[in-house]
Amino acid sequence: MPRYRILVEYDGGPFVGWQAQANGPSVQSALEEAVFRFCGERIRVQGAGRTDAGVHAGGQVAHLDLESTRRPAVLRDAVNHHLGPLPVSVLAAEEAAPDFHARFSAVGRAYRFRILNRRAPPALDRGRVWHVGTPLDAGAMDEAARRLLGRHDFSSFRSSECQASSPLRTLDRLDVRREGEEIVLYAEARSFLHHQMRIIAGTLREVGAGKRTPDDVSAALEAASRPAAGPTAPPHGLCLTRVWY
């Protein structure tokens, strides 16, 4: 039974998230249905990151097993054909080792969070940025972000519904940069907690608005309690950009 690794991008707006759920369409289900229409096999597509409803991906990695051997290019093109108008695209496909697992073999993940920081709301990027119309201090946000680097108990920065067995995570990168009218957060870690990046973004936005200081962010981290951190930012500013192995 051959195993295939695929690279996927998608607009998370129409979906309840990556993972198949009973309450609406998911990216996972869309891919599985496209594979079924292609070759008649009911399979499970395993993704590297279980992105939330509304979160996008430019570098999601997934794997799937087929009963029959297919040329990777044929698999890519056929799945894209059967996805039809859905905003999901398989960018690449290749055969993978039998023990490769998109989620458990991953050694790092990268996310980007975009904040459009101007008075006028977005038109072309609506649904892909968090619009904050009041001025933000990107320098203060970056200083606060550095307080979160390294290995910590991130209990203050994870959802109350997070199912991870431990709140300990290591943030290898967390940069905040002003890029024209946008403030962009770049983060890298082996793995992330549920809503971790969105809570970080919501907290840093408060720093940028002068409602918190970098020292307040350090105190929130030390508190190890969700109420100590800021609000959860909306999902549409977040994108999974890369997974590596």
What are the tens digits of pLDDT across the range 192-234?
A: 999 999 999 999 999 999 999 999 999 999 999 999 999 999 9
Domains 3-96 and 108-244 fall in the same CATH topology: yes
Task: Give the model's pLDDT for residue 180.
Answer: 97
pLDDT value of position 94: 98
Q: Which two tokens stand for residue 200?
A: 């970080």
Domain residue ranges of the chain, discontinuous segments joined by + = 3-96, 108-244
Write down the pLDDT at residue 3.
Answer: 98
From CA 230, how far away is CA 198, in angstroms rounded?
10
Supply angle C-alpha 193, 199, 200, rounded to 5. Answer: 95
Beta strand pairing status for 3-10 and 56-65? antiparallel
Looking at residue 135, its pLDDT comes to 98
Q: Which CATH number fits domain 108-244: 3.30.70.660, 1.10.8.290, 3.30.420.40, 3.40.50.720?
A: 3.30.70.660
- CATH for the 3-96 domain, from 3.30.360.10, 3.40.50.720, 3.20.20.60, 3.30.70.580: 3.30.70.580
What is the predicted pLDDT for the residue at 63? 98
CA 124 vs CA 86, 116, 120: distances in Å: 19, 12, 12
Question: What's the pLDDT tens digit per position in 1-18?
Answer: 899 999 999 999 999 999
Could you read off the pLDDT of 117-127 as tens digits, one per residue? Answer: 999 999 999 99
Give the model's pLDDT for residue 220: 98
Structure confidence at residue 193 (pLDDT): 97
The pLDDT tens digits for 146-183 are 999 999 999 999 999 999 999 999 999 999 999 999 99
Count other C-beta atoms under 10 Å from residue 44's C-beta.
Answer: 13
52 is catalytic: yes
Amino acid 110: pLDDT:
98
148: left (phi over 0), alpha (psi -120 to 50) or beta: alpha
Amino acid at 65: D
Confidence at residue 20, expressed as pLDDT on a 0 to 100 scale: 94
% the chain with pLDDT above 70: 100
- Tell me the pLDDT band of 19, cut-offs 50, 70 and 90: very high
Q: CA-to-CA distance for 108 and 208, rounded, in angstroms?
A: 28
Q: What is the mean pLDDT of residues 8-33?
A: 97
pTM for this structure?
A: 0.96
Per-residue confidence (pLDDT) for residue 138, from 0 to 100: 98
pLDDT tens readout for residues 123-147? 999 999 999 999 999 999 999 999 9
Confidence of residue 102 (pLDDT cuts 50, 70, 90): very high
Question: Residue 239 — very low, low, confident or very high, per pLDDT cuts 50/70/90?
Answer: very high
State the catalytic residue, choosing from 52, 99, 137, 153. 52
